[in-house]
Every structure is written in structure tokens, then in C-alpha cells.
């Protein structure tokens, strides 16, 4: 169970870090994050010092109660929720008419599901895939890894019960 709790905390810190980082390097910078039980990875061509600054600021802001930083409109959870809802809505809309008669209903159901998935995706992040409770979470280090087309950084964290 600790592994899931750690991944959720690190996922929240990853989101907060990317939000802070985009504020420093510009919103058009291409970044991808991936949380793990011992920290998270940031893929993107960004200087290590900017990531170090951003992760420290993000952790501080989360600890001060800025829990909204844990939920991101850019998160893959939103895509997963949208895909699941669109698929389910399409199945429901199929009915027993001919293929061409069903198509408008299926398309409309999928569009409505994707629109409805936006707030649901944020709720899934808030209550399932992230945890803004980062008291006791510490940054152990930030290291650069990949080069060339796939630059990445590992942000290593540890949890210290207080």
C-alpha cells in the first residue's frame, strides 16, 4: 500500500513541478512527466537547475496548501477517463438500427462523453491518482539522464514520517 501512496504523492509533486516549470520556461515547452514510487521523471529539453528550482518551489507550495497544483489539465488520467467514457457511451448509443443510422448517435455520444470527462478526469486525479498530502516528502536529488532526442531528468524523493 505504501507504494501506491508514494506514487500518488510523487504524481502530485510531478504535476506541481511541471506547472511551476512551465511558468519559468514558457507554456510552449514540451514536457512529459511520469511518477514512480521513488520520485518522478521529467522528459523535455530543460536545464537541470530550472528543474531543481521548480521542484523545490512546487514542494513548498504543496506543503503550504496549494493542493490545486496536484491536478493538471495535461495529465494522461484525463485522456484515459475520456477514452473510457467515449467507448462506453458509444456502446450504449449503438442500439439496433443499421450501421449508418447509428453513426450520428455514436458520434454524438462520444463527443458528449469527452466533454463530460473533463471534470471527471480532474476528480479522478484529485481522489485516485494524486495525493496533495506531501508532508514528510523530501527531495533527495535531481539528476540529468537521457541526451539528444530524449533528454530526461530523474527527481528522486523519499518519505520521512514525522
Q: Do 67 and 83 belong to one domain?
A: no
Which own/partner contact pairs does 62-65 have at CB distance under 8 Å and 24+ positions apart?
Answer: 62/12, 62/13, 62/16, 62/132, 62/134, 63/134, 63/135
- Same domain for 34 and 18: yes
pLDDT of residue 62: 98
Say if residue 83 is in the same domain as residue 120: yes
Q: Check residue 158 and give its pLDDT.
A: 97
Give the pLDDT band of residue 162 (cuts 50, 70, 90): low
Q: Say if CB 108 and CB 52 are below 8 A apart.
A: no
| Cβ-Cβ contacts under 8 Å for 13 (sequence gap 6 or more) | 35, 40, 55, 58, 59, 62, 134, 137, 155, 157
Rounded to whole angstroms, the Cα distance separating 71 from 127 reads 10
pLDDT confidence of residue 129: 97
pLDDT at 86 over 70: yes
Dihedral of CA 15/21/26/30: which sign? negative
pLDDT band at residue 1 under the 50/70/90 scheme? low
In this prediction, residue 102 carries a pLDDT of: 79
Percent above pLDDT 90 for the chain = 70
Specify whether 16 is located in the same domain as 56: yes
pLDDT average, residue stretch 55-81:
96
Q: What is the pLDDT of residue 53?
A: 98
CATH number for the domain harbouring residue 53? 3.30.980.10
Mean pLDDT of 75-90: 90
Domain shared by 24 and 52, yes or no = yes
113 and 143 assigned to the same domain: no
| 65 and 81 share one domain | no
The pLDDT assigned to 128 comes to 97
- Give the distance from CA 138 to its chain's centroid: 20
Bridge partners of 34, per DSSP, are 41
The mean of the pLDDT values for the chain is 92
135 and 120 in one domain? Answer: no
In this structure, the answer to whether residues 109 and 134 fall within a common structural domain is no
In the block, residue with C-alpha cell 497544483: 69
Q: Tens digits of per-residue pLDDT, 89-138?
A: 888 888 777 777 778 888 888 888 888 888 999 999 999 999 999 999 99
Q: Which domain holds residue 136?
A: 2-71+130-159
**Does residue 93 sit in the same domain as residue 66?**
no
Residues 120 and 136 in one domain: no
Query: What is the residue whose three cell numbers read 469527452?
Result: 114
pLDDT > 60? residue 48: yes
Total domains in the fold of the chain? 2
11 and 46 both lie in a single domain: yes
Amino acid at each position: 500500500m505504501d507504494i501506491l501512496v508514494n506514487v500518488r504523492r510523487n504524481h502530485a509533486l510531478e504535476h506541481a513541478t511541471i506547472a511551476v516549470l512551465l511558468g519559468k520556461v514558457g507554456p510552449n515547452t514540451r514536457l512529459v512527466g511520469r511518477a514512480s514510487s521513488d520520485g518522478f521523471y521529467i522528459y523535455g529539453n530543460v536545464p537541470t537547475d530550472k528543474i531543481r528550482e521548480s521542484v523545490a518551489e512546487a514542494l513548498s507550495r504543496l506543503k503550504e496548501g496549494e493542493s490545486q497544483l496536484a491536478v493538471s489539465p495535461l495529465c494522461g488520467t484525463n485522456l484515459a477517463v475520456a477514452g473510457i467514457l467515449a467507448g462506453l457511451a458509444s456502446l450504449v448509443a449503438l442500439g439496433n438500427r443499421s450501421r449508418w443510422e447509428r453513426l450520428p448517435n455514436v458520434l454524438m455520444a462520444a463527443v458528449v462523453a469527452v466533454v463530460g470527462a473533463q471534470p471527471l478526469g480532474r476528480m479522478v486525479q484529485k481522489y485516485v491518482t494524486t495525493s496533495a498530502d506531501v508532508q514528510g516528502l523530501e527531495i533527495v536529488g535531481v539528476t540529468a539522464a537521457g541526451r539528444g532526442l530524449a533528454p530526461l531528468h530523474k527527481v528522486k524523493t523519499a518519505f520521512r514520517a514525522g
